[in-house]
Amino acid sequence: MSPQPEPFTLRVPEDAITDLRERLARTRFPDQTPGPPWTYGTDVGYMRGLVAYWRDGFDWRGQEARLNAFPQFKVPLHGIDLHFLHVPGNGPAPLPLLLLHGWPGSVFEFLELIPRLADPARFGGDPADTFTVVAPSLPGFGLSFAPGQPRFSVEAMADCLIGLMTDVLGYRRFGAQGGDWGSFVASRLGWAYPAHLVGIHLNLLPLRRDPAMVADPAPEEHRYLGELAIWLKEETGYQWIQGTRPQTLAFALTDSPAGLAAWIVEKFRAWSDCGGNVEAVFTRDQLLANIGLYWFTGAIGSSFWPYYARLHGPWPIPEGAAIGVPTGYAEFPREILRPPRSLAARTFIDIRRWSAMPRGGHFAAMEQPEALADEIRAFFRPLRGQG
C-alpha cells in the first residue's frame, strides 16, 4: 500500500524567530577587503544593511503565509518525510508537472510561477495549457529535511520523486521542469524512467564540464569552452568545499545566520541578470524568505550532499547515454553556463524547443516567471494527450 500524504502548514516556533533576531543583533562582521565591493565575495556594506533589515524589518510570518496559501503535504518516502506543494490545475485537462528547484534555492522560488502554470487563464492564457503542479522540496532541502536522515544524490532524488509522482499521487505520465540541481533530477528521470515522462523542460543544461571535450570546436563551441574554463577557475570554489568538506562548512552556516545569508546572497547576485545590484531583481523579502527557510530548517549541510555525491561518484547521466524523451530548453542570457545546441544534442537527442530568452539568469522562476511560464506552456502544448 502506498504511503498517504498528510496536509502540512509551515509554522516556525516564535522562540526560533526570537533566537534568530538575537543572533543577528550579535553579528560580528569582517573587515572589507580592499578593492571594489563584491570583488572577493559578499560585500560587507551590503551585508550590514541586509542583516539590519532581517533583524528589524523582515516579516517572516508574511512569507510563511505566502507559502501556506498553496496546498502542501508531507509523505513518508525513502526514509524521509518528503514535503511538496500539490496545486490542482484549473482547466479542462491539466497535465501533471513536477517542478524542481536547486541550490541555493527552495520552493519559495516558485510562488510567482506556480499560479501561471496552474491557472493560465487568470493571466490571460489558454486554460487548455493548465498544469497540476507538484513542487517538492528536494530530498535533503528545506522542509524535506530532518536531522539524522539519509543524504540524497541526484540519482536517489530521482528515485524518490518517481515514487511520489507514480505510487503516491498516481500520475503514470507527467512532465518535469527544473533548473540547477532540478535540471539534473529532471534529466535523470528522463533517462531512468522514460516511460513515465511526457517530456522534460530545462533552464540549465546538465552537461559534463570538461574544457577538452571537443577536439576541433566550432565557433559557438569555442565560445562555450572559453566560458567554461573561466567558470571552472573562478566560480567553483563553493562546489569544492561543499563537495569535499560539507560537514565542516555546515558548522559555520548552521550557527551564523549572517554567514548563511552571505553565502547564499552572493550566488543570487553573481548568477542573476541583476547588473551587479541584486535588489534590482529580487526584493529583500524574496531573498530572506529563501535564506530563512534554510535557517529555520537547519538544512544547509544536507543541501550540500549532491555536490559531494557528484565529486565522489559517477555523473548522474551515464557516460555515452542518451536521453530520448522530448526536451525543451530556455537559455537565459545570464545563466552560469550556456552550452551550444551541438553539445547538448549529444545527450538530449530529441530537442523539440530551444529558446534564447531576452533577459534573466540562473533563478529564472523568480527573475522571469511570466517568460518561463510561457516557455513551459509552449513546450508541453504539443505533448499533451500523450499520457
List all residues 6 or more positions away from 171 whose beta carbon is below 8 Å from its beta carbon: 96, 134, 165
Residue ranges of E strands in the chain: 6-7, 72-77, 80-87, 95-100, 131-136, 174-178, 197-202, 327-331, 351-356
User: Which is catalytic among the residues 86, 196, 201, 362?
Assistant: 362
* pTM (predicted TM-score): 0.97
Concerning whether 167 is annotated as a catalytic residue, the answer is no
Report residue 236: phi and psi, to 5°.
-110, 15
Angstrom distance (rounded) from CA 231 to CA 328: 24
Q: How confident is the model at residue 271 (pLDDT cuts 50, 70, 90)?
A: very high
Concatenating the DSSP letter of every residue in 162-202 gives: HIIIIIIS--SSEEEEESTHHHHHHHHHHHH-GGGEEEEEE
Q: Does domain 6-383 have CATH number 3.40.50.1820?
A: yes
User: Which is catalytic among the residues 180, 201, 224, 329?
Assistant: 180
Concerning whether 101 is annotated as a catalytic residue, the answer is no
Angstrom distance (rounded) from CA 374 to CA 123: 11
Closest CA to 198 of 93, 90, 87, 122: 93
Q: How confident is the model at residue 16 (pLDDT cuts 50, 70, 90)?
A: very high
Q: Quick check: 309 pLDDT over 90?
A: yes
Concerning whether 180 is annotated as a catalytic residue, the answer is yes
User: Which is catalytic among the residues 46, 307, 308, 329?
Assistant: 307
Q: Report pLDDT digits (tens) over 133-190.
A: 999 999 999 999 999 999 999 999 999 999 999 999 999 999 999 999 999 999 999 9
What the block records as the C-alpha cell of 138 is 528536494
pLDDT of residue 387: 53
Closest CA to 177 of 84, 88, 99, 108: 99
